[in-house]
Structure 1
């Protein structure tokens, strides 16, 4: 058996993401970070592979947001939520 378990607790997940346990719980409760409840007390567990996928998705989201903010379309109010973004060098 591997020394690395398949599932992480909320505390483990919070440590990996460098956030508080309550923030990790919020991600799970909102459905943003998929998790399962196990045991009679219903303890949340996050699968390692799911957490890794979540992290990769957040990197991609950040990359796309950065590209969007650098694009000419970010200066069009109707495409940027009504706000004009300026690129400051």
Structure 2
């Protein structure tokens, strides 16, 4: 029995992904080629399509990277007395 269409992955055109991510279409294709987004060339003639779930995964990855970078900057900006406590004479 075939999977229902509701469980099948949904694919987006690179222009749709570019609009969602506020980047250029060429950057979307570069992300696919780099493996950061899952995509394939589908249809005849073949056109790029990006799996919708991979866009969510990419955004989650970017959010986590931003969170870690903010923590790094926060730790880097902390002074040693604030981190280690006052020094004893």
Q: Same fold (TM over 0.5)?
A: yes
- Asked whether 1:30 is paired with 2:34, we answer yes
Structure with larger RCO (C-alpha < 8 A, sep 6+): 2
**Equivalent residue for 1:19?**
23
- Asked whether 1:48 is paired with 2:52, we answer yes
Higher radius of gyration, 1 or 2 = 2
TM (normalized to structure 1)? 0.67
**Count of residue correspondences:** 72
TM (normalized to structure 2)? 0.67
Task: Give unmatched runs, 5+ long, in structure 2.
Answer: 78-89
1:26 Cα deviation (Å)? Answer: 1.2
1:64 Cα deviation (Å)? Answer: 0.6
Runs of 4+ in 1 over 4 A off after TM superposition: none
What value does the CA root-mean-square deviation take over the aligned residues? 2.4
Task: Give unmatched runs, 5+ long, in structure 1.
Answer: 74-89
